[in-house]
Chains A and B, each alone.
Chain A
Amino acid sequence: MKYDAIVIGGGHNGLTAAAYLARAGRKVLVLERRHVLGGAAVTEEVFPGFHFSVCSYVVSLLRPEIIRDLELPRHGLEILPLDGTFTPMPNGDHLWRVNDHARTQREIRRHSTLDAEAYDEYGKAMVEMARFVKPILDMTPPDPMSLDPRGLMKLAFLGKRFRALADLDRYNQVQLMTMSAVDFLDQWFETDVLKATMSASGIIGTFLGVRSPGTAYVLLHHYMGEIDGAFRSWGFARGGTGAISNAIAAAAREAGVEIRTEAAVARIAVANGEASGVVLTNGDELQASMVLSSVDPNLTFLKFMDTKDLPDDFVGDVRRYKFRGSSGKVNLALDGLPNFTCMPGDGPQLRGAISISPSVDYMERAYDQAKYGEFSRRPYMDMVIPTLTDPSIAPPGKHIMSCFVQYAPYKLASGTWDEQREAFGDTVIDTIAEYAPNIRDLILHRQVLTPLDIERDFGLTEGNIFQGELSLEQLFFARPLPGWAQYKTPIRNLWMCGSATHPGGGIMGAPARNCVMKILGNK
């Protein structure tokens, strides 16, 4: 039998694409290599009773239109608020920002009166910037080299929007698009720890430092959630991140999508420049009038295809596409709660994100080590304890602490990740212990994911959590490749719908939705 569309990969993007296609009347099959759905947006019971959000652990940018269109709440999606960012400092002080604006201002005033005032201005400015950028997320990037009037209109549209901005907003916008997070924040704030912890969002998942130009832009993402209005800027999914994928899968199934797990694709069937289906590793051949790949370009074009079927310069571009995973993940099963010296007790400071980013130099030094092929001896970390918000995911009285760790370069100067995995895990524990010494006694189990593990287990080349670096030369009309930013490929009826396409990674779903809109001719 023949499908209208086969979607490779049962991650949140693959499932979203499938759901939208099915709702448009297409007969769709989703193929997932693993036994669970969700890709990197997955919940797994790694240790008995402990349900880890193994990779992705918080949600902010999931497009509200997707939540509405697919009626995700009806399919079991519930977002629980994640309130605040707590930054412990080695000198016994701390910085604790919460959603309650007044409280945050009082807290910042402890560090600097000027910054407390600037924080207000900054928040307002960033919301304006986010308003400007938001439509770009939901747009198929134009091809600057084509004379397609729709593309040119988009460019004109962007130009007009930019000119319509107030002078100050223009100034900020240009800076956000080009500057480093620290250079940008330096203009607003004087408190080192504040700049350090804010700049962290600019480098997550990239192989860049907080002083690298191009990192300021991502600061915006923290304000996108707010203007979406669907939920607070950051949150947990009840039941773990996998619950998001499961809700999308439920919506897809309801729309008639067929989903197969443990169905690994061996290759994409291509005949005279046209995709006709896929062949599974078990030899099954599946026909379809179109194939959507939600996996990264490396797998799609270099693993699943014969490069002879592709133009040489295209293959060259795919080979040049930068992955460069730079982060790892350590998931801890805890017997109790960590006790931070600078703010003892299990107060609300533990309910939000806990950020190990005590100073700008600390952040930059962590990057410097990675540049030369070592993992940071004192890494940047973003930690959450979801069990405080959602006790259902661990046994009574037990806790889960999820630690995102950067920098962990995929390519090590010496040794292999298999040799260094435990040393990396120890570094993480040692770093936490400097702020919460009791952590060692609490650990029941620990799961260490190096970039190599992320590549092996989740099919993310070089362990890049965004399916390719979010650096300026790989954004918008250059994502994933210059000239191929419109979800199309050189192969007819083969489409890309994963995080490697515009607007990129994170649990957004926008790439998949944009791709389907393009396929259905709505964009």
Chain B
Amino acid sequence: MSSDTVIIGAGVNGLVTAAFLARAGRKVLVLERGDHIGGCARTTGLVPGFRCPTLAHVASIDPAIVRALDLARHGLRIIRPDADICAPTAGDRALVLWRDQARAAQEIRGFSASDADKYPRFLVSFSRIAAVLRNVCKSIPPSIDEPNAADLFTLLKAGRAFRGLGRADAYRMLRWMPMSVADLADEWFQSEPLRSVIAAGGILGSFLGPRSSGSAALLLLLGAGEGQPLANGWFAAGGPGALADALAAAAQRAGAEIRTLSDIVSINVTGETATGVTLTTGEVISARTVISNADPKRTLLGLVGATHLGPEFVRRMQNLRSHGTLAKVNYAVDALPRFTSLRSREASEQAAALSGRIRLASGVDAIERAFDAAKYGGFAEEPWIELTIPSIIDPALAPPGRHVVSAYVQYAPYHLRGSNWDSERDRLGDAATRTIARYAPDFESSIVGREVITPLDLERSYGLTGGHIFHGEIALDQFFVTRPLLGWARYATPIKNLFLCGSGTHPGTGMDGRSGALAARQVLKAPATWKP
């Protein structure tokens, strides 16, 4: 068969691209190898009666895309929990950063008066800088060789936005970008829990420690979506899977066709032009345009194959840094975890405090030490952990009174030295459980089901090369005009009519759908923008 446009992979970005192209009148066919759509945005059964965010546990979709695709009408219901973030301690006090900033400042005052005074100022500076970055994240990276009018306009706009910050914040932005997030947190705050939650925002999913230069840039970029440094991303009723369903509905409504259980073995190339794809079943689907939601390495080195690409391009693609460090542990529990440091609060307030993200770290150094282990190919006994308990705000996910607990566990390096993940999987799960139990002693006994997803599983089952959740490190050398590669940051590839739309392209900040939206824009301009 044949289709005007084939999109490989029904992840968030693939579906966003599909929806926008279908709306623009393209005949779009989305091919998903799994039996579920959604890629990293999925909600699946853990044990009977319990449904849990399988991978990503927030649905940080770009609000502009929600509006443009009218996702609300297609069933997306965004929930903002009362608490952005909760930092339990091993002691009897927890720091809860409520969405209500005044209330958050009150909590902070309990730890440090000066931190409480600085917190609002920090958020103001941060959100102003984030607004500038948001512009960058919404723009197609300019061409360096022959910048066209649009490129220059983009740069001009960015430049103006930058100047608009005024000296103080403009210089802050210049300093913050290359800094380490630990230094950034130290400059502003004294209390360890606050420093730790901020530092954690700069290392999520990356092979960086809080003391690594450039980790502040990751904090800014991940926060750019909403200008909230601590807890970017919100929850979808029904879990992240519901976001994928809404996107799929929007795409199908616009005429796109989505086929699951359709695994691609190759992208067919004639000369240097993509002509379609071949499925594992042997079926060949020809297309005028092929767009890949898979990561750049998998797409070009795997599905296209080095033989169709220049050796220098292949070398650079092989050097694309995509060394995953994030593992996922999902729990079904028969009671809401009771954190020692929250015991002094009302039951209802405890639940509210746990309704957002829960970040477990005994300090910035503890996170750094967990990273140290990963540098030498091991994982720490006390990993850094971010929990969500989505069943608090979305009781439908678990039987009455019971809950699902979703845990990001870092650092779990894709490359283990002297061992492999198939034999270490459960040890990692146990380390996670023990670490959570340090803060919530009854946790271990409340577990009725557990699922451990290592970076190796992310690669095997979800096609993420190196198990990297962002399809490649988001770092100063792999961002904007250099994402995925310098000279190939505009969604086109050396193969004519083959485009990338996944997180491996700018801005690449996970499931916000921006990569997919920008790719769609670029595809609609093709072949004008295609450069050999």
Q: How far is the CB of A183 from chain B (nearest CB, A)?
A: 7
A81 to B167, CA, bound (A): 47
Q: Which 6 A-B pairs have the closest CB atoms?
A: A472-B178, A482-B171, A178-B476, A178-B477, A214-B213, A213-B214
Given A212-B213, A372-B365, A163 and B477 contact (CB-CB distance below 8 Å): no
Q: How far is the CB of B517 from chain A (nearest CB, A)?
A: 26
Q: Nearest A residue to B159 by beta-carbon distance?
A: A144
A320 to B185, CA, bound (A): 12
Q: Which of B176, B312, B476, B482 has the most CB of A within 10 A?
A: B476
Inter-chain contact B316/A214, CB cutoff 8 Å: no
B321 at the interface (CB under 8 A from A): yes
Could you show 29 A-B contacts with beta carbons less than 8 Å apart?
A: A145-B163, A168-B312, A170-B144, A170-B487, A171-B485, A174-B477, A174-B482, A174-B486, A178-B476, A179-B476, A187-B315, A187-B319, A211-B212, A212-B212, A212-B213, A213-B213, A213-B476, A214-B213, A313-B168, A322-B183, A361-B376, A364-B376, A471-B179, A473-B175, A473-B213, A477-B174, A478-B175, A482-B171, A483-B171
B145 at the interface (CB under 8 A from A): yes
B288 at the interface (CB under 8 A from A): no
User: Could you tell me how many residues of chain A have their Cβ less than 8 Å away from some Cβ of chain B?
Assistant: 36
A389 at the interface (CB under 8 A from B): no
Q: Give the residues in chain A near B144, CB-CB below 8 Å.
A: 162-163, 170
Q: Give the residues in chain B near A482, CB-CB below 8 Å.
A: 171, 174-175
Inter-chain contact A371/B211, CB cutoff 8 Å: yes
A167 to B488, CA, bound (A): 12
Q: Nearest B residue to A360 by beta-carbon distance?
A: B375
**A window 338-374: CB within 8 A of B:** 361, 364, 368, 371-372
A361 to B162, CA, bound (A): 40
Given A168-B312, A178-B477, A313-B168, A214 and B145 contact (CB-CB distance below 8 Å): no
Query: Is the contact region of chain B dominated by helix, strand, or loop, or is it mixed?
Result: helix
A361 to B208, CA, bound (A): 16
Q: How far is the CB of A164 from chain B (nearest CB, A)?
A: 11
Inter-chain contact B321/A183, CB cutoff 8 Å: yes
Q: Nearest A residue to B167 by beta-carbon distance?
A: A145
B346 at the interface (CB under 8 A from A): no
A175 at the interface (CB under 8 A from B): yes
Residue-wise interface mask of B (152-193) relative to A, using a CB-CB cutoff of 8 A (1 in contact, 0 not): 000000000011000110110011111100010001000000
Residue-wise interface mask of A (460-484) relative to B, using a CB-CB cutoff of 8 A (1 in contact, 0 not): 0000000000011100011000110
Q: How far is the CB of A203 from chain B (nearest CB, A)?
A: 12
A208 at the interface (CB under 8 A from B): yes
Q: Nearest A residue to B479 by beta-carbon distance?
A: A178
Residue-wise interface mask of A (155-179) relative to B, using a CB-CB cutoff of 8 A (1 in contact, 0 not): 0000000110001101100110111
Q: Which of A144, A171, A473, A477 has the most CB of B within 10 A?
A: A473
Q: Give the residues in chain A near B183, CB-CB below 8 Å.
A: 322
Inter-chain contact B212/A145, CB cutoff 8 Å: no
**A window 172-227: CB within 8 A of B:** 174-175, 177-179, 183, 186-187, 208, 211-214
Q: Nearest A residue to B175 by beta-carbon distance?
A: A473
Q: Give the residues in chain B near A183, CB-CB below 8 Å.
A: 321
Residue-wise interface mask of A (59-100) relative to B, using a CB-CB cutoff of 8 A (1 in contact, 0 not): 000000000000000000000000000000000000000000
Supplied contacts A145-B170, A179-B477, A472-B213, 5 more A-B pairs, CB within 8 Å:
A145-B163, A145-B167, A162-B144, A175-B477, A213-B213
A320 to B187, CA, bound (A): 7
Residue-wise interface mask of B (468-500) relative to A, using a CB-CB cutoff of 8 A (1 in contact, 0 not): 000000011100001001110000000000000
**B window 310-330: CB within 8 A of A:** 312, 315-316, 319, 321
B368 at the interface (CB under 8 A from A): yes
Given A163-B145, A361-B376, A371-B211, A144 and B476 contact (CB-CB distance below 8 Å): no
A371 to B368, CA, bound (A): 9
Q: Nearest A residue to B187 by beta-carbon distance?
A: A320
A473 to B187, CA, bound (A): 14
Q: Which of B145, B162, B175, B321 has the most CB of A within 10 A?
A: B175
Q: Which of A145, A163, A211, A471 contacts B375 (CB 8 A)?
A: A211
Residue-wise interface mask of A (290-324) relative to B, using a CB-CB cutoff of 8 A (1 in contact, 0 not): 00000000000000000000000100000010100
A320 to B186, CA, bound (A): 10
Given A174-B482, A473-B178, A208 and B213 contact (CB-CB distance below 8 Å): yes
Q: Nearest A residue to B165 by beta-carbon distance?
A: A145
A501 to B476, CA, bound (A): 24
Q: How far is the CB of A168 from chain B (nearest CB, A)?
A: 7
Residues of A within 8 A of B (CB): 144-145, 162-163, 167-168, 170-171, 174-175, 177-179, 183, 186-187, 208, 211-214, 313, 320, 322, 361, 364, 368, 371-372, 471-473, 477-478, 482-483
Inter-chain contact A178/B214, CB cutoff 8 Å: yes
Q: Give the residues in chain B near A313, CB-CB below 8 Å.
A: 168
A144 to B163, CA, bound (A): 9
Q: How far is the CB of A320 from chain B (nearest CB, A)?
A: 6
B372 at the interface (CB under 8 A from A): yes
Q: How far is the CB of A414 from chain B (nearest CB, A)?
A: 14
Q: Give the residues in chain A near B315, CB-CB below 8 Å.
A: 187
Inter-chain contact B475/A178, CB cutoff 8 Å: yes
Q: How far is the CB of A376 from chain B (nearest CB, A)?
A: 14
Q: Nearest A residue to B144 by beta-carbon distance?
A: A163
A212 to B212, CA, bound (A): 6
Q: Nearest A residue to B316 by beta-carbon distance?
A: A171
Q: How far is the CB of A118 from chain B (nearest CB, A)?
A: 11
Given A163-B144, A178-B214, A144 and B174 contact (CB-CB distance below 8 Å): yes
A214 to B179, CA, bound (A): 10
Q: How far is the CB of B304 from chain A (nearest CB, A)?
A: 20
Q: How far is the CB of A314 from chain B (nearest CB, A)?
A: 11
Q: Nearest A residue to B173 by beta-carbon distance?
A: A482
Q: How far is the CB of A211 from chain B (nearest CB, A)?
A: 6
Q: Nearest B residue to A163 by beta-carbon distance?
A: B144
Q: How far is the CB of A206 from chain B (nearest CB, A)?
A: 10
Q: How far is the CB of B146 from chain A (nearest CB, A)?
A: 10
A472 to B175, CA, bound (A): 8
A364 to B368, CA, bound (A): 13
Q: Give the residues in chain A near B212, CB-CB below 8 Å.
A: 211-213
A471 to B177, CA, bound (A): 12
Q: Nearest B residue to A162 by beta-carbon distance?
A: B144
A372 to B375, CA, bound (A): 16
Q: How far is the CB of B231 from chain A (nearest CB, A)?
A: 25
A212 to B482, CA, bound (A): 19
**B window 260-285: CB within 8 A of A:** none
Q: Give the residues in chain A near B177, CB-CB below 8 Å.
A: 473
Q: How far is the CB of A265 from chain B (nearest CB, A)?
A: 29
Q: How far is the CB of A409 from chain B (nearest CB, A)?
A: 12
Q: Which of B175, B212, B214, B477 has the most CB of A within 10 A?
A: B477
Inter-chain contact A170/B174, CB cutoff 8 Å: no
Q: Give the residues in chain A near B168, CB-CB below 8 Å.
A: 313
Q: Give the residues in chain A near B375, CB-CB below 8 Å.
A: 211, 364
A482 to B162, CA, bound (A): 14
Given A145-B170, A213-B476, A482-B174, A471 and B372 contact (CB-CB distance below 8 Å): no
Q: Which of B178, B312, B365 contacts A214 (CB 8 A)?
A: B178
Q: Give the residues in chain B near A320, CB-CB below 8 Å.
A: 187
A471 to B214, CA, bound (A): 11
Q: How far is the CB of B426 from chain A (nearest CB, A)?
A: 27
Inter-chain contact B174/A478, CB cutoff 8 Å: yes
Q: Nearest B residue to A475 by beta-carbon distance?
A: B178
Q: How far is the CB of A10 from chain B (nearest CB, A)?
A: 32
Q: Which of A144, A364, A473 contacts B179 (CB 8 A)?
A: A473
Q: Which of B211, B214, B368, B486 contacts A171 (CB 8 A)?
A: B486
**B window 355-373: CB within 8 A of A:** 365, 368, 372
Inter-chain contact A145/B171, CB cutoff 8 Å: yes
Q: How far is the CB of A480 from chain B (nearest CB, A)?
A: 12
A371 to B366, CA, bound (A): 12
Q: Give the residues in chain B near A178, CB-CB below 8 Å.
A: 214, 475-477
Q: Nearest B residue to A147 by beta-carbon distance?
A: B163
Q: Give the residues in chain A near B179, CB-CB below 8 Å.
A: 471-473
Residue-wise interface mask of B (206-247) relative to A, using a CB-CB cutoff of 8 A (1 in contact, 0 not): 001001111000000000000000000000000000000000
